[in-house]
Chain A
């Protein structure tokens, strides 16, 4: 079961800070982050790609679930 972070409703840049923290903690593996705005989705995707992680975006009702992976 991948770790899950709920960043819905948080102001910019908190979703990015939480993602960055997790990326640094894990170094590799898989985790999910839930966000509710397109801005957060774009910011996290940009950060993940910059850090060498793959991003898969899934629509969950009105929110986005971003699955970040690095082997």
Chain B
């Protein structure tokens, strides 16, 4: 166990986890997931929000098993390696809104940091703007962190608190498998409360069992290795450390190779799957997300893995993201292939103001 533990803590361990994501994300696409979206935490949470009826964008509704499995994979790893530590209480309401606005930004760009890498590895040049925005947002977050920004300490909480989010994921899995249809449309067709897209990206998915198995693998490995795109960029800027960066280079390199092998690589800016070409808002959307991730201490994937370890604050961030996805579509803030939604840009500006106010006001002398 100690050998396994030290392997995962090593540079090779994190490269292995990154390569695992980079190999299986394009394969999930091959097996049915949407283009350059073999894995995307933001898009997949958005689809879950739609499937639960939190938004009614008919093209993006599905309970993505990968998200469920990310949390459960991390949960299993944390239990096995005795790292399951129920904790919470570090500014939960702030974390909820950081998650909310992180999702608003991600849906203006159309992807999380992992999807930005996967889009780049699939040849989508717009991802460069997204990754540049992500870096800019993280850089601003670091300035705040260096000048004393904090959300305060989390404390140990009672054991069951740590179990709630993993149990909620099991409940989601049941809803995916049962997909209850209590309602009736005006024509008498069964509908809701669970909605699955019949066309568009929400209708494209790999077989459930495969998605679950890959997701469990990713969750397990990411919990062990602390794989985090935001952390990777942050550590390079903040302490000139490339440990986490080697993980995300593993994702990008492996995904690029796999896309070539699977003939999924298509270079260019236009006609890319589930993407738009508005440079400014690709950049700005991801800037907001990057800043929100930095202020919350992790990218959306990492927040799910932390939730699996019993971190209630990370679970609240993830919940904020799912609620944010509902609002993004209901309030015309999410982008489409045509470009940003009508209220996407103003929502990004509001989100940035929120984060900057936090950066200046959430300060405490710790040591």
Contact = CB atoms under 8 A, between A and B. Distances in A.
A47 B154 contact: no
B149 to A, nearest CB: 9
B238 A18 contact: no
B249 interface: no
A37 interface: yes
Nearest to A8: B153
Given A7-B367, A13-B234, A37-B85, A46 B241 contact: yes
Interface in A1-29: 5-14, 16-18, 20, 22
Contacts of B153: 8-10
B234 A42 contact: no
A47 to B, nearest CB: 6
Contacts of A36: 85, 87
B357 interface: no
A11 B9 contact: no
Contact of B366 (A12, A14, A16, A20): A14
A17 B238 CA distance: 8
B241 A9 contact: no
A6 B298 CA distance: 21
Contacts of A5: 367
Given A14-B150, A14-B366, A16-B238, A9 B226 contact: no
B144 to A, nearest CB: 11
Contacts of A9: 87, 90, 152-155
B239 A11 contact: no
B297 A18 contact: no
A38 B238 contact: no
A30 to B, nearest CB: 16
A43 B241 CA distance: 10
A12 B313 CA distance: 12
Contact of A13 (B85, B151, B238): B238
Interface string B82-99: 010101001000000000
A46 B9 CA distance: 10
Interface string B292-305: 00001110000000
Nearest to A12: B297
A47 B239 contact: yes
A5 B366 CA distance: 9
A14 B145 contact: yes
B231 interface: yes
Interface in A41-71: 42-43, 46-47, 50, 62
B146 interface: yes
B247 to A, nearest CB: 13
B241 A13 contact: no
B235 interface: yes
Contacts of B234: 13
Given A11-B296, A14-B145, A18-B366, A50 B155 contact: no
Interface in B150-200: 150-156
Interface in B300-318: 313
Nearest 9 pairs of A and B residues by beta carbon: A9-B153, A11-B297, A9-B154, A5-B367, A12-B297, A18-B367, A39-B226, A38-B83, A42-B9
Given A7-B367, A14-B150, A18-B367, 9 more contacts: A7-B366, A9-B87, A10-B150, A11-B150, A11-B151, A11-B313, A12-B297, A16-B238, A17-B238
25 contacts: A8-B153, A9-B87, A9-B153, A10-B154, A11-B90, A11-B297, A12-B231, A12-B298, A13-B238, A14-B150, A14-B366, A16-B238, A16-B239, A17-B145, A18-B367, A20-B238, A20-B239, A37-B83, A43-B226, A46-B243, A47-B239, A47-B241, A50-B240, A50-B241, A62-B85
